[in-house]
Amino acid sequence: MFWPIGKEKMDPLLITAFVLLSVLCLIGLIATPLGLPGTFVILAGAVLFNLVQWKMAISLWVLVLLLALAVSGEILEYWLGVRLAARRGASGAAIAGAIVGGLIGAFAGVPVPVIGSVIGLFLGVFLGALLVELVLQKSLPRAWNAAIGAFYGRAGAILVKSMVGVAMAAAVFAAAV
C-alpha cells in the first residue's frame, strides 16, 4: 500500500510526513536540473520524514546511502562539467566563466514560463564560456569550441545529477512505504 492510510484509522502525523516528503522530493527534482543542490533537498525530506514521525521509519542505512548519492551527484556534476568542457579546449577561465554565466542565466532566466530558468542556465553557460575564451584567446573558432564543450558538459552533468535525484526519490519512497 503506497498511501499511508490504514483500514482502521488515518494517522494524521504519517499523512503529514508523506506530504512533506512528497513536496520536498518534488522541489529537489525540480531544483536539480537548475544546478541547485536538489539532491540534498531530497535527503532533507527523508530526514524530516523521520523527525515528523519521531521514529526511524527510513533506516539509518538508507539515509547514509542517500547522503552518499547526494555527495556523489554534486561531485559528478562538477567533474562532468569541467571534463567535457576541457575536452573541447576550454581553459580554466572559460570553465569559470561558464559556471558564473550559468548561475546568472539560471536566476535571470528567459521570459518563458516554467522552463525559462533552464534555458537561461544553458544560455549562460554557453555565453559565459564563449565571452571569457574570446577575451583571453581572441579566436572565435576556439572560443566557440570551448562554449560548445561547456554546453555539453552542463547538459551531461544535469542529466547525470537528475538521474541520481530520481534514484534518490525512488529509494526514499521505497523505504518509506
Q: What is the 3-state secondary structure (H, E, C) of the chain?
A: CCCCECCCCECHHHHHHHHHHHHHHHHHHHHHHHCCCHHHHHHHHHHHHHHHHCCCCCCHHHHHHHHHHHHHHHHHHHHHHHHHHHHCCCCHHHHHHHHHHHHHHHHHCCCCCCCHHHHHHHHHHHHHHHHHHHHHHCCHHHHHHHHHHHHHHHHHHHHHHHHHHHHHHHHHHHHHC
pLDDT digit string, tens, across residues 2-51: 555 555 566 888 889 999 999 999 999 999 988 788 999 999 999 999 99
Length of the chain: 177
Per residue in 46-105, pLDDT tens? 999 999 988 888 999 999 999 999 999 999 988 988 888 888 888 889 989 998 998 888
pLDDT at 39: 96
pLDDT of residue 2: 52
Residues 13 and 52 sit within 8 Å (Cβ to Cβ):
yes
**Are 36 and 61 a contacting pair, CB within 8 Å?**
no
Q: What is the model's pLDDT at position 103?
A: 84
What pLDDT score does 1 carry? 45
The whole-number pLDDT of residue 34 equals 80
pLDDT of residue 65: 96
Copy the grid coordinates of residue 39: 539532491
Q: What is the pTM of this model?
A: 0.81
24: Cβ–Cβ under 8 A, 6 or more apart, which residues?
Answer: 41, 42, 44, 45, 48
Q: Are 21 and 176 in contact (CB under 8 A)?
A: yes
